[in-house]
Chains A and B, each alone.
Chain A
Amino acid sequence: MENRPLEYDYTVAKMFMVTTIVLGIVGMSIGVFIAFELAFPWLNTILGPDLAEYTNFSRLRPLHTDAVAFGFTVSGIFATWFYVGQRVLKVSMAESKFLMFIGKLQFWLYVIGVTAVVISLFMGYTTSKEYAEFEWPIDIAIVVVWVLWGVSIFGLIGIRREKSLYISVWYYIATFLGVAMLYLFNNMEVPTYFASGGIGDVMHSVSMYAGTNDALVQWWYGHNAVAFVFTVPIIAMIYYFLPKESGQAIYSYKLSLLSFWGLMFVYLWAGGHHLLFSTVPDWMQTMGSIFSVVLILPSWGSAINMLLTMKGEWQQVAASPLIKFMVLASTFYMFSTLEGPIQAIKSVNAIAHFTDWIVGHVHDGTLGWVGFMIIAALYHMAPRVFKRELYSKSLMASQFWIQTLGIVLYFTSMWIAGITQGMMWRAHDEFGNLAYSFIDTVDVLHPYYALRGTGGLLYLVGFFMFAYNIYKTMSARPVEESELQNASPMGA
């Protein structure tokens, strides 16, 4: 040990890479399955009537959203933090036994938490609040995992060699603080077993807020869970991985400063756009709309900064599938941060709300931006943590095109489905009666649901190719340190 030079220690990063891939497969498989359930309802009882309770769309839907958000994405965030954090702070986790222990503890508690989530959601334990379905014992476990991550972040910062924090670290800190605040306030609940002196189910709890207040807090959370799980930490990743992989410095550090503080300030106001035309006060709805449109500025600030980083180096996009993933990710980021504000405009929202267009919007953000960025991050990390070249470049390229096709099928079908349904709901005939019964608006969606399922399936196939590629990388050709400076080494 004494004779070896100091190296970055990726033990914990590797552990979270495994959960990123495993939970990605779980969450996306469930997603594809429930997508096809909407197109072909007989799939609801595919395992027979006795197990129908557990293969039912409604029981699986929270499992899908939570597995991809808190399984795949959060694992990806942790994995990249334990990689990027060390590098930009220029300090190794091997230098602190304490931080190493905290990191491993965080991982194992996380695994236990995920297991508990899967089991409890299958059993039907849910608070019904979207992306906050977990009952109170799991909430407590999640808080502990999160605090441990905070200890890791600030512990590593505490022993850093580089005085200034790199852009990515700002975003990781913001993720930590934002999710902590939102999660705590939204999950304020009273366990009924204890409050009633030991009656009923121990797991059950009741929300501290009622009705409109509950909705307000939930969507303040729900929208910003998207902000601080699907946007902020993913920006953290791209600010590190794109410059590193391409060898180009960020186009403008100053622009990143502006867009960071802009994003921090503006994002939280926009939650009201989930509640347009509901019973929350009008001024709040209007504010939600306006700030959603303002949000384009800081979002595009980051996205343009990314794309301009490639200025004069566009041949790299053609040459490297890894760069392709990241450039398409930032393009999809621009795309969905434009689509979101459009949907937040009141008159558009009147048609779009409650329809599949919203589902489409979420997915071009998550599949295109979040998914692609995490995939690219793991591809970049794999040669460096395993000290081996990436198994296959051509496999990676085909994965890229298959998944891109999947995303395009997904969001185009959902656009058409959403707008069709929204228009049909509000259509009146010449006598002022409703033109369509509800079931008419369901029947018409069948082809789009089938198409969407196909798009999702293509993305899942691509994800399996990704998992296989990473798996084979572990036994590929060993590489020298010097090959790892910028562009990742790839086999044929």
Chain B
Amino acid sequence: MFHWLEKNPFFFAVGVFVTIAFAGLIEIVPNFAQASRPVIGTTPYSTLELAGRHVYIKNSCNACHSQLIRPFKSETDRYGHYSLSGEYAYDRPFLWGSKRTGPDLMRVGNYRTTEWHENHMKDPQSIVPTTIMPGYPWMFTNKADIDTAYAEQLTIANVFGVPYNKAVPMKDGSTKIVKMGKDLKDAQALALAEAQEVVKNMKDQDVKDAVANGEIPEIVALIAYLNSLK
């Protein structure tokens, strides 16, 4: 009946394509608009947080840490409220991960401090003696890439309409404005101001000096990002 297909490569290829494309069409398309709407209280990432998110991605933190709390008692007990679709509206890319070699980080900002992260990232064994997580000392010397973070902010604001410099509704009825620099200089100044807030709670003298000199080590950006995960 269909045997002529195997003798006609063109129609065969078309047949295969239609068969495999069908599922994607049905599964993915209808959900697209719905899932991209943010829930109230979700704000875009600031410049420094975004730079920190890049550090997180650069070091593939998502290879061992998930950012997805499933609706089970054991998970909500351990990590907090289960994840809602709209909470991820500004996550490009998503960082759910697929393996929990370490704990979930979806709401790590609720229960870990700047100081804890600083010590833990430098030498995890000093905080959790039997941990198998390696240290990330190079983050204390490598500089965060604020320029690229700003470029990404500009891109997502222009192309995807992410609401920077606009009032975003919060849970308590107030509004919040996440600022994005007018130009690169402005963005760098904003990020530095954020970084100065973060280093107030840090101990490492080299990091403090670097920020005082107008440089932002990766660790400062990363902690700003981790603290924003709530």
Q: Which residues of A contact B (CB under 8 A)?
A: 37-39, 41, 44-45, 49, 52-53, 56-59, 61-62, 124-130, 154, 157-158, 163-165, 170, 173-174, 177-178, 181, 185, 190, 192-193, 195-197, 199-201, 204, 206-207, 209-218, 220, 261, 264-265, 267-269, 271-272, 274, 277-281, 284, 287, 350, 353-356, 358-359, 425-428, 433-434, 438-439, 442-443
Question: With contacts A200-B151, A213-B36 known, is A45 near B23, CB below 8 A?
Answer: no
A190 and B86 alpha carbons, distance in the complex (Å)? 22
Query: Which B residues between 86 and 141 are near A, CB-CB below 8 angstroms?
Result: 86-103, 128, 130-138
B4 to chain A, nearest CB (A): 10
Residues B60 and A59 in contact, CB atoms below 8 Å apart: yes
Q: Which residues of A contact B90 (CB under 8 A)?
A: 210-211
A466 and B220 alpha carbons, distance in the complex (Å)? 48
B74 to chain A, nearest CB (A): 4
Residues A216 and B35 in contact, CB atoms below 8 Å apart: yes
Q: Which of A124, A126, A177 contacts B16 (CB 8 A)?
A: A177
Q: Which of A38, A61, A212, A284 contacts B94 (CB 8 A)?
A: A212
Q: Which of B58, B62, B101, B148 contacts A200 (CB 8 A)?
A: B148
Residues B20 and A280 in contact, CB atoms below 8 Å apart: no
Q: Which residues of A contact B59 (CB under 8 A)?
A: 56, 58-59, 124
B13 on the A face (CB < 8 A) = yes
B216 on the A face (CB < 8 A) = no
Residues B64 and A57 in contact, CB atoms below 8 Å apart: yes
Instruction: Give the residue name and chain of the A residue nearest to B129 (CB).
Output: A439
B12 to chain A, nearest CB (A): 7
Q: Which residues of A contact B99 (CB under 8 A)?
A: 354-356, 358-359
Stretch at the interface among B77-85, B165-173, B195-203, B221-229: B77-85
Residues B7 and A268 in contact, CB atoms below 8 Å apart: no
Q: Which of A52, A211, A438 contacts B103 (CB 8 A)?
A: A438
Question: With contacts A279-B85, A428-B73 known, is A217 near B155, CB below 8 A?
Answer: no
Q: Which of A39, A127, A128, A277 contacts B72 (CB 8 A)?
A: A277
| Chain A proximity mask over B5-18: 1 for CB below 8 Å, otherwise 0 | 01101001100110
Residues B20 and A264 in contact, CB atoms below 8 Å apart: yes
Instruction: Give the residue name and chain of the A residue nearest to B84 (CB).
Output: A279
A130 and B159 alpha carbons, distance in the complex (Å)? 25
Q: Which residues of B contact A157 (CB under 8 A)?
A: 9
Instruction: Give the residue name and chain of the B residue nearest to A62 (CB).
Output: B60
Residues A280 and B35 in contact, CB atoms below 8 Å apart: yes
Residues A204 and B151 in contact, CB atoms below 8 Å apart: yes
Residues A190 and B64 in contact, CB atoms below 8 Å apart: no
Q: Which residues of A contact B150 (CB under 8 A)?
A: 196, 199-200
Question: With contacts A207-B93, A212-B94, A434-B74 known, is A195 near B85, CB below 8 A?
Answer: no
Task: Summarize A's interface: helix, strand, loop or mixed.
Answer: helix
A-B contact pairs, 30 of them (CB 8 A): A38-B101, A41-B134, A44-B134, A45-B134, A57-B63, A57-B64, A126-B60, A127-B93, A154-B13, A157-B9, A165-B12, A170-B12, A177-B17, A195-B151, A209-B93, A210-B160, A211-B89, A265-B22, A274-B98, A279-B35, A279-B88, A350-B70, A353-B70, A354-B66, A354-B97, A354-B100, A425-B78, A426-B74, A427-B74, A428-B73
Residues B23 and A269 in contact, CB atoms below 8 Å apart: yes
Q: Which residues of A contact B83 (CB under 8 A)?
A: 278-279
Residues A192 and B154 in contact, CB atoms below 8 Å apart: yes
Question: With contacts A200-B148, A265-B22, A278-B83 known, is A220 near B12, CB below 8 A?
Answer: no
A49 and B137 alpha carbons, distance in the complex (Å)? 8
A439 and B120 alpha carbons, distance in the complex (Å)? 14
Q: Which residues of A contact B22 (CB under 8 A)?
A: 265, 268
B31 on the A face (CB < 8 A) = yes
CB-CB nearest 5 A-B residue pairs: A211-B88, A200-B148, A268-B23, A200-B151, A44-B134
Q: Which residues of B contact A154 (CB under 8 A)?
A: 9, 13
B86 to chain A, nearest CB (A): 8
B105 to chain A, nearest CB (A): 11
A195 and B154 alpha carbons, distance in the complex (Å)? 8
Residues B154 and A128 in contact, CB atoms below 8 Å apart: no
Residues B137 and A211 in contact, CB atoms below 8 Å apart: no
Instruction: Give the residue name and chain of the B residue nearest to A49 (CB).
Output: B137
Instruction: Give the residue name and chain of the A residue nearest to B17 (CB).
Output: A177
Q: Which residues of B contact A181 (CB under 8 A)?
A: 17, 20-21, 24
